[in-house]
Structure 1
Amino acid sequence: MTISIRSAQEADAMLIARLHFHTWRETYRGLAPQAAFTAVTEEVRLDRWQRMLARKGGEQTILVAEVDGQLAGFGMAGPASHEIFQSRAEIKFLYVGAAFKRRGVGRKLLLHLARHMKEAGYSGVGLGVVAGNSPAITFYDGMRGTRVGNYTDPGPIWRSDNHLYVWEDLPALVAQEEERSF
């Protein structure tokens, strides 16, 4: 199995939207309110990804992970959207399709996003994980993230309770990527 990471292109919008839609629904079943499931359709996701990919650049990075040429996951990082992140970058999305979980895709995406944020001048990175998302919490604990607080995501449909995970030392986190490269 070969995992490759590359910058997302506008032509990836449909595949990212589809993976985001299905993975989000699987992940948040039992956590998100029905109103969120009703409002967030595949078309809504597609529109949002088309807009984000059309204006990407600056400090924002959107990456896709492919396994043997098939979209396996995606991630996005950039300037923080909530004051709890302080001066850290924020990993805003990190999703891996069900067929590719526990195969190193999420790890590789996280490390590549961290490298991009280090190159953008950040010394630390953080992300929010919805309270109750046990698989993600286990993953971030395994990646040596430190849970430093909680906050409510002000999202337009669902105000989710989140745990803040941070990595204060981006060079050390990025070194994990380099260690696996040998």
Structure 2
Amino acid sequence: MTAISIRSANLDDAQAIADFHVKVWRHTYRDLAPAQAHAVLDEDYRGRTWKEKLASNDGNQLVLIAETDDRIVGIGAAGAPSEPIFGGRGEIKFLYVDPAFKRRGIGRTLLAQLATHLGKLRYQGAALSVVKGNASAIAFYEALNGRLAGEYVDAGPIWRSQNIVMVWDDLTNLIG
């Protein structure tokens, strides 16, 4: 098995991240998101948003890429919370792993590094939202001792998804 490396993303990675994000997002949400969201949230749209995210990084946000053989197989991002329901915990904003590379520890490793970043920002805990019905992600977070802390509707750019909030009150649960 080829080694998987994890590194911080930079602005030059924006379109590759966007292409990966669209591929995995469409697979994950094929039965959950409406057709309009699949049509609008394409590589061009995601490319623009990732360029904005990576260009405007103020040091609070960390975007990571997991790669093997110069191919992205996972992405993750964390930073300041975007929703009051996160209760002041740092937010895991994105975590996507290529379905062909699941169960190899990529998601767990990305989460550990993102949690370490949140600790450096002085957050005591972490939170994330996951779309209701995304059973595999929910099971993954529960296996890592994530706790259900509430629900909200994500306003999103196109799709108003029903989300649940998973939290970790102690970052060492994710880092260790």
Give the TM bin, normalised by the shorter chain: over 0.9
Match of 1:162, as an amino acid? N
Gaps of 5+ in 2: none
1:134-145 equivalences in 2 (<5 Å): 134-145=135-146
Superposed, 1:32-181 pairs within 5 Å as: 32-174=33-175, 176=176
| Partners of 1:137 and 1:79 in 2: CA distance | 22
Q: What percent of counterpart residues are identical?
A: 49
Q: Secondary structure at the match of 1:157?
A: coil
Give the whole-Å Cα distance in 2 for the aligned partners of 1:39 and 1:70: 25
Write the distance in 2 (CA, Å) between the matches of 1:87 and 1:41. Answer: 31
Compute the displacement of 1:21 (Å): 0.5
Cα separation, 2, equivalents of 1:45 and 1:62: 15
The one-letter amino acid of 1:137's match is I
Per the alignment, residue 25 of structure 1 pairs with: 26
Write the deviation string for residues 56-108 of structure 1: whole angstroms up to 9, x where unpaired: 23211111111344211111111111110011011110011122111111111
Distance 1:130 1:21 in 2: 16
Structure 1 unaligned segments of length 5 or more: list them: 177-182
SS at match of 2:158: coil
Q: TM-score, normalised by structure 1?
A: 0.92
Amino acid at match of 1:24: W
Indicate the SS of the match to 1:45: helix
- Equivalents in 1 of 2:68, 2:140: separation in Å? 20
Partner of 1:180: none
SS of residue matched to 1:76: strand
- In 1, the alpha carbon distance for the partners of 2:106 and 2:68 equals 8
> Deviation above 6 Å: which 4+ runs of structure 1?
none
Report the Cα distance in structure 2 between the residues aligned to 1:91 and 1:123, rounded to whole angstroms.
Answer: 13
> Does the 8 Å contact 2:147/2:168 carry over to 1?
yes
In the alignment, the residues of structure 2 paired with residue 57 and residue 64 of structure 1 have an alpha-carbon distance, to the nearest angstrom, of 18
Cα RMSD, aligned residues only: 1.2
Q: Deviations over 1:121-161 (max 9, x none)?
A: 10000000000001101111111111111111111211111
**Count of paired positions:** 175
The 8 Å contact of residues 144 and 173 in structure 2, kept in 1 or not, is answered as no
- Letter aligned with residue 81 of structure 1: S
